[in-house]
Structure formats: structure tokens, C-alpha cells
């Protein structure tokens, strides 16, 4: 995705310029700030899977994403980073029983808590869909926790539908 400038109007008629660009290693702190907000919600809802930590996004992991050939990290910025996504470009295994597909998998998507409810997530998500289309992907896929009803409603409003379920039993 090339650097893009998108203008929108907030409530009150205030015009705001937004930029979408690919992240660089120096963006670690901005991405970590938003990722930590998302992680805190997951920690509260699924303490059997997540625990709080001061660092919730490993810097080496982030740098490997930036350097990766099959990964992309994009940012939505106003005067600061307000949203980010981590995407992985995947191709299905070459097996005679599988149809070859190119999938863009959304590993992470987060909007700063102070910017939610303004339509920025929707705008950003639409640009991610455009990126996936330009990459000639067959689909854009993601996983979402069942407890996260707000995210589920958001993704459904963006025309995503449930493809499969991952189930568990505690032992």
C-alpha cells in the first residue's frame, strides 16, 4: 500500500487529514501502545490464555515483521498513530485435494481507544481490503475471540462472515 492521504470529517465538521503507510522499525513504540490496549482487553476476558506484562509486543518479533517478505504492517495516522494492522500473505499448501488460494491473513488489528467510534477503523479496514485486492488475494481472513462482540459486529459490518469455528474444552 503506497502512502495515502485520506480526508474525513469528524462530528462538528472538523476536517482531518489521515495518512496510511507501511510501518518501519521506528514505529515500534506507537504500535506497541495500541497493541497493549488490545492485549489488556484480552487479558481481562481470557486470563487462562493471556497475562499482563509491561511489554506485550516483542521488539524483535516486530522487527522481523517489518523485514519479512510475507508480512506487512500498516499504520493509520492523524497527528499520531491511531490504528495498525499486521498482515501475513499466505498461499495454500500444494496438495492435490486443495484449491490453490492466496490469502491475506490479518494477524492483528487495533484502533487506539481514544479514536474508536469515529469511523476510522472502518476507513482503515476498507483500505486493507483494497490492498488485498491489489495483491490479487482470494480472501482476507482473521480470527476473533467469541467474547469480543464489538469486534464481531464490526467485522460483520465490513462484510466478513464466519468461515469456521475453533472450539475448546478445558481439561
pLDDT band at 16 (very low <50, low <70, confident <90, very high): confident
pLDDT digits (tens, 9 = 90+) for 67-126: 999 999 999 998 899 999 999 999 988 899 989 999 999 999 999 999 998 889 999 999
Any domain includes 115: yes
The answer to whether residue 44 sits within a structural domain is yes
> Taking the complete model, does pTM exceed 0.85, yes or no?
yes
Q: Which strand (E) or helix (H) includes residue 70?
A: none
Domain holding 111: CATH number? Answer: 3.40.630.30
pLDDT at 40: 94
Q: What pLDDT digit, counting tens, does each position of 126-139 carry? A: 999 999 999 999 99
Q: Mean pLDDT across the stretch 12-35?
A: 90
Is residue 88 included in any domain, yes or no? yes
Q: How far apart are CA 135 and CA 16, in angstroms?
A: 28
Residue 132 lies in a domain: yes
Q: Is residue 162 part of a domain?
A: no
The parent domain of residue 38 ranges over 22-157
Distance between CA 87 and CA 170 in Å, rounded?
A: 30
Q: Grid coordinates representing 38?
A: 488490545
Which residue, among 161, 90, 85, 89, has the nearest Cα to 123 in the 3D structure? 85
The structural domain count of the chain equals 1
Output the average pLDDT for the chain: 91
Residue 35 belongs to a domain: yes
In a domain, 125, yes or no: yes
CA dist., res. 169 & res. 155, Å (int): 26
Amino acid at each position: 500500500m503506497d502512502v495515502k492521504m485520506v480526508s474525513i470529517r469528524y462530528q462538528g465538521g472538523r476536517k482531518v487529514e489521515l495518512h496510511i503507510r507501511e510501518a518501519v522499525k521506528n514505529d515500534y513504540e506507537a504500535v506497541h501502545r495500541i497493541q497493549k490496549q488490545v492485549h489488556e482487553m484480552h487479558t481481562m476476558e481470557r486470563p487462562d490464555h493471556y497475562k499482563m506484562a509491561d511489554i506485550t509486543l516483542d521488539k524483535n518479533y516486530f522487527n522481523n515483521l517489518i523485514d519479512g517478505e510475507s508480512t506487512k504492517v500498516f499504520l493509520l495516522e492523524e497527528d499520531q498513530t491511531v490504528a495498525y494492522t499486521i498482515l501475513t500473505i499466505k498461499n495454500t499448501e500444494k496438495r492435490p485435494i486443495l484449491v490453490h488460494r492466496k490469502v491475506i491473513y490479518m494477524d492483528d488489528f487495533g484502533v487506539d481507544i481514544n479514536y474508536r467510534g469515529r469511523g476510522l477503523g472502518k476507513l482503515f479496514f476498507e483500505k486493507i481490503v483494497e490492498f488485498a485486492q491489489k495483491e490479487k488475494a482470494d480472501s482476507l481472513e482473521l480470527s476473533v475471540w467469541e467474547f469480543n462482540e464489538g469486534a464481531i459486529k464490526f467485522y460483520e459490518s465490513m462484510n466478513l462472515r464466519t468461515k469456521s469455528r475453533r472450539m475448546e474444552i478445558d481439561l
